[in-house]
Structure 1
Amino acid sequence: MSGPALELVPEPDPDDADNLLLLRARMATEIASGRRSDAILDDLAETLSHGVRSASATIVSIDRSDSARVRSSDAPTSVQRLMHGSHRRRWFGSWGAAITRMTDIVVPELAGSSLYREHQATFVSEGLLAARAEPIIGQHGLVAGAIVLYLQDQRLLTEAELALLQEVTSLVQLTVRRDQARGELLDRIRYDALTGLENRDGLEDHLRSALAASRGTDWAIGLLFVDIDDLTLVNDSLGHTAGDTVIATTADRIQRQLLPGDVVVRFGGDEFIVVLERIDGLDEAQRVAERIREKIGEIIRVDGTDLTTTVCIGITEGRSSTPPLQLIDEGHAAVVRAKQNGRGSTTIHDRSLDTGAGDRLGREVRLREALENDEFCVYWQPKVGLTTGRIVGAEALVRWDHPERGTIGPDEFIGTAERAGLMSELSDWILNHAVSEAKAFTKL
């Protein structure tokens, strides 16, 4: 028989079982307490290296592009370099096989293993003679990476060492699943479940990034504020499922008209904002808006019914010095004017109508006064059953009874209320008055 024989290692101290219980309790507490995952993985890799004789431990994860990332390791730098950043086609050794096969891989003799053929010289020069890897199984039963032990002895793990490896693997999986669950939660917060688009939380970041990229160039940044016309009518007549279909189809049709680098977010229930990353000016933004408007106007078939949807679009542009919130405000102001012009209208924001930050501050102050002076009122829109013709309910609509301008719709003051932090107070006012008036109806 050629080559060194496998070395049999005596069992460690029987108290190791108690030590595993202590390890499990301590690390589970740290995982539950929210300790940083990198720190937890460093501790677990170090525990494994110290608990297995003449061994180095490496924890490697895979990202969404199937590239390997060394998360924690005390393996030689040359080995880490081979692993880190490698794509699926370049994965090798016990850890690569553990990930692709989703099972533990034992290599008692690296020199004779086809898994290490391409990199044997590196491992031999580092004195690494054997290996064992365990897959890391993450959320939903999907593989998320691997733990690999490299041994300086040509041997198998003892039962106690194997028990430690399995315990550490379990704790690593618990850490990874915690991070994945947290990531999924953040995705649900950041992304709209119906359309798959980012919501308004990420809009400022996109605008800030696009504006910064335009610095020192001739590019402008375009913003389109898209508002679906009469979506409430669809919801009331055909149901919210039909309304959801209109929203999802609209989102898809907007995306299909954009170039790589352009972004669309769902800003509100029936509102979208499009960020055009590089445009020559408002003419180009208007051409994109027209393509979007025409595409959205194509028939949508919902449960056997053909619907024709229209949108109003407000258009503005900015340069590197333009504040992101100013662009959003301008887009909103433009779409409000577009809706005043009728369904399917498009309006370019006219900055000559702006009176600056002082005017916005004045509107916020005036809105606070309106709440204090009880200038808002509730209008009731009845809902009529299609089969009976009877009133089956009513929708409460808030209006501002302005002493100088008359009745003002919510499109003109909701944005100001949001910026001024008055939405909670305004919502409470609406709820209290709607309930009070509804009680009065029951006595009629």
Structure 2
Amino acid sequence: MQYKSLFDNQPDPALVVDKFNVIKLANKKASALFGFRTPEMMEGHFFLRLFSVNETARVKKTLVGLKRDAPVCVEDVSYKDELGVMHHLDLHLTATFDPILASDLVLVTVQIHKLDLEDGVNKNSLLAILNNLDASVVTYNRDGVCTFANDGFLKVNNKHYEEVVGRRRESWMSYEMAVKEEAKSAKVLISGLSSSDEMELSINRSHDSRYVISRFPIIGKNSSVPSGTGELITDVTRQRVQEEQLTLALNAFRLSRDAIVMTNDQNKIISVNDAFVRITGYSESEVLGNDPRLLASHRHDHHFYKRMWDSINQNNHWEGEIWNRRKSGEIYPEWLSISKIVDEIKDNIHYIAVFTDITQKKQTEDEIENLAFYDVLTGLANRYLLADRVAKSVQADLRSSATSALVYFDLDHFKKVNDTMGHSVGDKLLQEVAIRMKRLIREKDTLSRLGGDEFVLFMPDIDPNDIEARLHALVSQLNQPYTILDTEVTVSASFGVAVSPVDGGSYESLLRHADMAMYKAKEDGRNSVCFFNRKLEMKAIKKIKIDNELRYAIDAQELRLVFQPQLMLSKESVVGCECLLRWKSRVLGEVSPAEFIPVAEKSGLINSIGKWVLQQAVSKTKELLQINPEIKMAVNISASQLRSNDFLSSLLEICSDYEVPACNIELEVTESMLMEKADSTMKLLKSLADHGFHMAIDDFGTGYSSLAYLNWMPVSAIKIDREFVQDIHQNEKHRKVCVSIIRLARSLDIKTVAEGVESHEQLRILQQEGCDMIQGYHYSKPLSGSQMLLFCRESAELELKERGV
């Protein structure tokens, strides 16, 4: 374009617009006026979009009627800049023709009203001030879009202007934080009142910084309604650190358990702490300005003090034992440390003395010897005293044929008390339990606390016929409500009993056997008493053997999968199957999943076993898909597998290796797994669903039975537990439970699968009530891999015959 230099340097903002109202050229004055970083950034934008709707119509009409070489002036056009400030402009429009471009163009020159020019000067001054503030400033419109950010804000957030202005908060902060900040801004918009709060932000990886954020409404000249909000963000990290350091120093001085005295170069006391007042009995006002000699006991001669001061002057330190006198006249020993502090800048000298009353220390040493055999919290015997008394009594039992009972018990769900009410309530509850139990035991009995909520009651020389009655009396009393810090708490306990000498001839064996019995009491429903028997020991030994042998089961190829078909009732066709894990050990023979799965979960083997199951199940799915492309393979997933970091990636890799679509795999999880760490579980399940995997809730109705999660978990099927199905034709309550589950699932568009269907009567009722699918012995027993392929093939052929194909 001709005269480009003249155009760029003319004193007024200027633009060139083509016949389509597209800006072809702009000078620096124009880009600055309309909020663009450079003139080039304006090129390609629609000229009319710079103005409001009303102004656009008027300007457009003027442009249409414009004739070449006939200038037209549009008076008083309004324009709102990025800060929300309204400007009044005069647009001078001149039609021209560019021979180079062979196109009609319009030259637009802009003159700003005088009042606005003054505002512009003020605005530039304001921008200069804002950009040089030692703070961050940012503004937003009512829609939450950033309209301004000063240099401080951009520097702190390591962003460029265009990365922030014109964008919402989530562009430079996390979504969760953006939502919280939007809510705070909304409150300012609604109330029209400023607010302020302080928060810690991780601006970079090296450290966290603390900021005070002051929020304020932005109100225009001609409106009382806020047009947006502004934030002044001040870094107070250094200030807070200094305040904390000062507070810590003052607290360390005031709250120190050791007495601290500070004197000046004339050895006059200028400061003491609370411990000094407590130990000496002198108040602060009584000692300030005095010489520390007022504490002297006169037990030390002048040679002692001379050696002390020689060490202070030569080494700037002295430490040793000294006798001093309290205000009451009592003489006591203390361990004293004196340091000389020299301020080289101000040439000042101070002395700091720190001392401890070692009378208490000696008394404490005596108490420690006594406390070596008693629990600090409850005052009960500890494990060392218990072991000593049990060992002596057991030896006496062997000689006299007497009977003693060792009772191991702990409080049921005590962790929930600590988690929900706090450890102070938990500690107080333990103390109250100890007090209540001590009232009910004999004088010769020993009640001990081993730690946490674990207790042991040892009853020597007791009639075996009296043990159970006495324990049930203890259970009854322990179950009575407790009032802890004005809160009523009810707690129960599980008791395990081992009797000497029948169940063991030593403290260790009795304790181990009582522990086994206690866990049996927990398995039986808690709040009960269980006596040790050899079956419990055999069960514990078997668990150890299972654990040992299970470690070699995969490599020894002892594990196998069987498959139980699932029938769609509406079509009476095979639509899926559930893979079930079986183990035939070379040492233990056939081992039930009910026995080895809990052991695998406890030992951590479940992850490697679960991965093997997934590989085998997906491999078999590939074969089944060749017969029925719609079939789904259901695989049970443990809580440990679900929590592992690589579960999703590993599952995707397995499916990819075997070329099996995710939509043909259904993962079965229990209700308790859904509710455990619900937030993280929901994210994982949604991610699995996003990749196409189906989710089913196994054993529905036997866990938490919380229906809320069904609304937000990506569940495609609910499996009705066999406990409700097996007597559905006889038990009206179980039938109602099944009907309720089916109707609930239908209302949420979730399929239902009834497990354990074994009779035609059960099938008839489930079909009548609208259950979608069944599995169980009535339809088919679990099949081997080859049998499952044959079963699916025969089912597919039968379905084709029924269709007449």
The answer, yes or no, to whether TM exceeds 0.5 is no
TM value normalised by structure 2 = 0.26
Higher relative contact order (CA 8 A, sep 6+): 1
Structure of greater Rg: 2
From the two aligned structures, give the one with the greater helix fraction.
1
TM value normalised by structure 1 = 0.43
